[in-house]
Amino acid sequence: DQQVKQNSPSLSVQEGRISILNCDYTNSMFDYFLWYKKYPAEGPTFLISISSIKDKNEDGRFTVFLNKSAKHLSLHIVPSQPGDSAVYFCAASVWGSSNTGKLIFGQGTTLQVKP
Amino acid sequence: DGGITQSPKYLFRKEGQNVTLSCEQNLNHDAMYWYRQDPGQGLRLIYYSQIVNDFQKGDIAEGYSVSREKKESFPLTVTSAQKNPTAFYLCASSSSGLSRETQYFGPGTRLLVL
């Protein structure tokens, strides 16, 4: 039962253009969402997050949008740079009675930015 | 220079052998986590600990064991009961282990079976 889904395994964009990575979730109890970037053979690096009380959060070239009614979030990278080429994971935090910070991860989307 | 260290970078396991993966953090974080990544899949939670001397099973705890005797250390043992141990193992930590916190990851250990 995949609660967080990234349906596009890969995405290729031209340098300078916009990259849009998508993520869908099924659990309405998720209230905090994060995006991580991962290079091969390295640990994921935190990129940006958004709380469910917001619908947009921006940090430099990175913007995350949250559509709670559609249970969908997206990461926009503008402009895309070759150094952005990596695997991007979205993750969701479960709000439960134990109040733990367990993260549920999507399968990842491999972004390739071509020079 | 704060961060999370994992060792070794590569680890080889023989059939029937237990191996232990090290994870150390100097971020003064209370919570620590172990994840497993398989090709084409997301990270799956093995175990987590919100405080010293306490830990909880994650989604795929079978065949693994952990200890949390010190705040900065959270070693993971892959036992012989884990039939498919080949994977990339990632350790993470967060400030208190509560919801809405960012987890920070170490560089990972790749475990291979001989």
Q: Which residues of A touch B105 (CB under 8 A)?
A: 36, 43-45
User: What are the tens digits of pLDDT across the range B49-63?
Assistant: 999 999 999 999 999
Report DSSP state, residue A110. Answer: E
Q: Which residues of A touch B92 (CB under 8 A)?
A: 43
CB distance A38 to A87 below 8 Å = yes
List the pLDDT tens digit at each of the 115 positions of chain A: 689 999 999 999 999 999 999 999 999 888 899 999 999 888 999 999 999 899 999 999 999 999 999 999 999 999 999 999 999 999 998 765 555 678 899 999 999 999 9
Candidate from B103, B107, B110 with C-beta closest to A103: B103
Q: Do A100 and B98 touch (CB under 8 A)?
A: yes
What is the rounded CA–CA span in Å between residue B112 and residue B36?
A: 13
What is the rounded CA–CA span in Å between residue A103 and residue A39?
A: 19
Give the per-residue pLDDT at A96: 58
Length of chain A: 115
What is the rounded CA–CA span in Å between residue B31 and residue B48?
A: 7
Radius of gyration of chain B (CA): 13
Substitution target from B5, B100, B101, B110 for chain A, most A beta carbons within 10 A = B100
List residues bridging with B104 in a β-sheet: B93
What is the rounded CA–CA span in Å between residue B105 and residue B58?
A: 17
Q: Flag whether residue A1 sits within 8 Å of chain B, measured between CB atoms.
A: no
Give the per-residue pLDDT at B40: 79
Token pair in block for residue A52 = 């469910």
Query: Taking the CB of residue B40, how many other CB atoms lie within 10 A of it?
Result: 9
pLDDT exceeds 70 at position B35: yes
Q: What angle do CA B65, B112, B39 make, to 5 degrees?
A: 90
Q: How far is CA B98 from the centre of its chain?
A: 18
